[in-house]
């Protein structure tokens, strides 16, 4: 009788089939449920397990319209992060759980999921698109419900992450994420009267550093401030066009001055 492949090989085979999108969703999900039944009692301490749970949740939510099953797998990936070790998968699961709950009208549950995903992502240095999406969604949802900013730290961390990714991995920032972060920056951070006070305003707003894969990034570091000015210019040009010609121009001037000062 042939030996069963190791769990790692079974998970890899499932993830390959999921990523290729060639399998029939219902058949792939049934295969995944069987694999989950066999492994869930003693899941492998492997990032592949976290990615498997996220993939199962996505299949259930997006292809099979089964939000109950999707929620079960997303929560498993989020709550089991310390075991499987794929923190980016955990953040993605938390964000997906928030999207799922928001679509169902469960705004309180969605807000809790967004906050959990963003806070854990930033705590663990997962500076990735879904961490920023979760933070921006938490800010948006609470503001829409209550008309006030309750997640100030998450707002700044999301902008912090935007600056970092803009410099180090700009491909992660798609148009939708750029829009929501830019809108929130214009509404909550950019000065109403004097653009020259942006750096002062930025540095007064905690937290004052962001954990990244390379270590801590300080909000007063010259390279961080240059990216802040460049991003502010981009956001202003995109969202403040009704306030006059070239609304981003003052921030581009600040960026140029900051660059000259750093090169002296």
Q: pLDDT tens digit string along 158-179? A: 999 999 999 999 999 999 999 9
pLDDT at 44 over 90: yes
Tokens of 140: 């948006």
95 pLDDT band, cuts 50/70/90, is very high
14 vs 67: CA distance, rounded Å: 21
Average confidence (pLDDT) over 196-211: 97
- Tokens 């099953």 sit at which residue? 69
Q: State the burial class of residue 223 (Cβ atoms within 10 Å of its Cβ: 0-12, 13-18, 19+).
A: middle
pLDDT the model gives residue 247? 92
206 vs 52: CA distance, rounded Å: 36
Q: pLDDT tens digit string along 1-16? A: 455 788 888 898 899 8
**All structural domains of the chain:** 1-150 (1.25.40.10), 153-264 (no CATH)
35 vs 14: CA distance, rounded Å: 9
Q: State the burial class of residue 153 (Cβ atoms within 10 Å of its Cβ: 0-12, 13-18, 19+).
A: middle
23 pLDDT band, cuts 50/70/90, is low
The kind and range of the H/E element at 11 are helix 7-20
């Amino acid at each position: 009788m042939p030996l069963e492949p190791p769990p790692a090989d079974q998970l890899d085979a499932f993830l390959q089939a999921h990523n290729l999108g060639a399998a029939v969703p219902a058949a792939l999900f049934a295969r995944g449920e069987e694999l989950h039944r066999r492994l869930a009692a003693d899941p492998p301490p492997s990032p592949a397990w976290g990615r498997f749970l996220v993939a199962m949740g996505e299949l259930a939510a997006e292809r099979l319209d089964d939000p109950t099953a999707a929620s079960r797998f997303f929560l498993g990936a989020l709550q089991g992060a310390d075991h499987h070790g794929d923190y980016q998968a955990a953040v993605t699961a938390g964000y997906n759980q928030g999207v799922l709950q928001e679509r169902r009208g469960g705004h309180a549950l969605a807000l809790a999921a967004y906050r959990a995903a963003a806070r854990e992502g930033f705590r663990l240095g997962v500076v990735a698109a879904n961490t920023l999406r979760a933070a921006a969604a938490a800010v948006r949802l609470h503001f829409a419900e209550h008309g006030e900013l309750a997640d100030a730290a998450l707002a700044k961390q999301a902008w912090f992450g935007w600056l970092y990714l803009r410099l180090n991995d700009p491909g992660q920032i798609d148009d939708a994420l750029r829009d929501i972060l830019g809108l929130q920056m214009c509404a909550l951070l950019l000065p109403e009267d004097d653009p020259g006070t942006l750096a002062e305003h930025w540095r007064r707003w905690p937290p004052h550093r962001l954990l990244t894969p390379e270590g801590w990034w300080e909000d007063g570091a010259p390279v961080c401030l240059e990216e802040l000015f460049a991003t502010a210019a981009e956001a202003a040009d995109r969202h403040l066009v009704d306030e006059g010609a070239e609304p981003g121009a003052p921030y581009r001037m600040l960026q140029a001055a900051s660059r000259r000062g750093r090169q002296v």
